[in-house]
Amino acid sequence: MSLPSSVRQAITELSGKSADPLCAYVYDLPALEAHIRAMRAVLPANCELFYAAKANPEAPILHTLAPWVDGFEAASGGELRWLYQHHPDKPLIFGGPGKLDSELAAALDCGVAAFHVESLGELRRLATQARLHGKPAPVFLRLNVKLDEAPESRLVMGGKPTPFGLDEEAMEEAFSLLAAEPFLELQGLHFHLLSHQLDTQAHLKLMREYFRFFHKITDRHGLQLPTLNVGGGMGINYHDPERSFGWRAFCQALAALIDEEAMCGVRIRFEIGRFIAASCGYYVMQVLDIKRNHGLYFAVARGGTHHFRTPAAQGHDHPFEIIRGDGPAALENTKVTLVGQLCTPKDVLSREQAVAALGVGDLLVFPLAGAYAWNISHRDFLMHAPPEMVFLS
């Protein structure tokens, strides 16, 4: 993986200006824009693309994406408030388990385009709030049902017992509740059964299952639902990004599948996080110390997993690039483990990695740090200073 020259140059300039050793997130917003435009360009006609803000809700990221997405997905009251504050005119959809009554009420106030209802209890509480507000609530039932083609990836959230969505038994009761409650307007079904999907063909098979299930349910209940939300989950291959989810091929085949499965009259909505945001972000740590301990080399760098939890969350050795400084190399053609400043042996970003040369003052640059990175990190631990946040435009 080689760094884009604009990113390399920006990082080098930053380190020249920094009084202390550098620790920063650098976001390549032009690359993000090019990526979302390319994703959008191949989307079949009756599909919509929402951004799942949980992947990275930084305001400049949202601002860059806003012209190219149909709306934003919020997974908490906090995200909803933030999205509404920054993009009051964009359609917002509201998912996630354990929504508070106060959050349901706030979502009604800001006129969300969809409530993704996770349980019967939540459906009842939403009905109460909608009645109290005198506002109809647009409902999507989030389903966790057994499909003929079981979803498979490293992170499966459905097709088996999980806290997410309604199973078939609960779904039938939900339809009775919906029929009896004038303030609830059923507008669609929602699936998000997995994340980290790298297999384009497997995902197409899953789409076919969703489409067939959608027809089965709408036929059974005599419903005309305008929208099917098919979630996100397109994966990034952190070690070989070229082998990440094949969005272009997927969209080409999807257009034919929509035709084959008679889904042209239904809006197909995606809510994608990781695949949109991961590649625009870089986490940068400057090396503070290089030591040998019980026969292994360690490079201790400024920052750590309290800023960048992705390697720990994924349980992987994160790929990195080295920008050499002016100092001598302390290590040559050897293996080194890259760690941060935390007093825990879990603060490891990459284990026993071969390096050609590494010295104190060099910069370690971790790519693919734009999604589920800073915002999933235990940033208050040890009260270290936060990283600089730099948005290249």
Ligand X SMILES: Cc1ncc(COP(=O)(O)O)c(C=O)c1O
110 is catalytic: no
Point out which span in 97-105, 167-175, 269-277, 361-369 binds ligand X (CB under 6 A).
Answer: 269-277
Any alpha helices (H) in 87-227, and if so which ranges? Answer: 101-109, 120-133, 168-180, 200-221
Decide whether 44 or 97 has the Cβ nearer to ligand X: 97
Residue 247: CB atoms within 10 A of its CB come to 19
Q: Using the rule CB under 6 A, which residue among 11, 39, 47, 55 binds ligand X?
A: 55
Q: Using the rule CB under 6 A, which residue among 11, 49, 52, 83 binds ligand X?
A: 52
Determine, following the binding rule CB under 6 A, whether residue 71 of this chain makes contact with ligand X: no
Give the shortest CB-375-to-ligand X separation in angstroms.
12
Determine, following the binding rule CB under 6 A, whether residue 273 of this chain makes contact with ligand X: yes
Residue 24: CB atoms within 10 A of its CB come to 24
**Are the C-beta atoms of 377 and 308 separated by less than 8 Å?**
yes
Point out which span in 77-85, 220-228, 265-273, 376-384 binds ligand X (CB under 6 A).
Answer: 265-273
Determine, following the binding rule CB under 6 A, whether residue 370 of this chain makes contact with ligand X: no
Rounded to whole angstroms, the Cα distance separating 346 from 315 reads 10
Site string for ligand X, 222-251 (x = CB under 6 A): ---------xxxx-----------------
Rounded to whole angstroms, the Cα distance separating 306 from 268 reads 37
Q: Which two tokens stand for residue 113?
A: 């385009």
Give the shortest CB-10-to-ligand X separation in angstroms.
26
Q: Which helix (H) or strand (E) holds 68?
A: none
26 phi and psi angles, rounded to 5 deg: -120, 125
Rounded to whole angstroms, the Cα distance separating 321 from 283 reads 11
Rounded to whole angstroms, the Cα distance separating 46 from 69 reads 14
Site string for ligand X, 1-40 (x = CB under 6 A): ----------------------------------------
Decide whether 123 or 322 has the Cβ nearer to ligand X: 123
Chain residues in the site for ligand X (CB under 6 A): 52, 55, 95, 192, 195, 231-234, 271-275
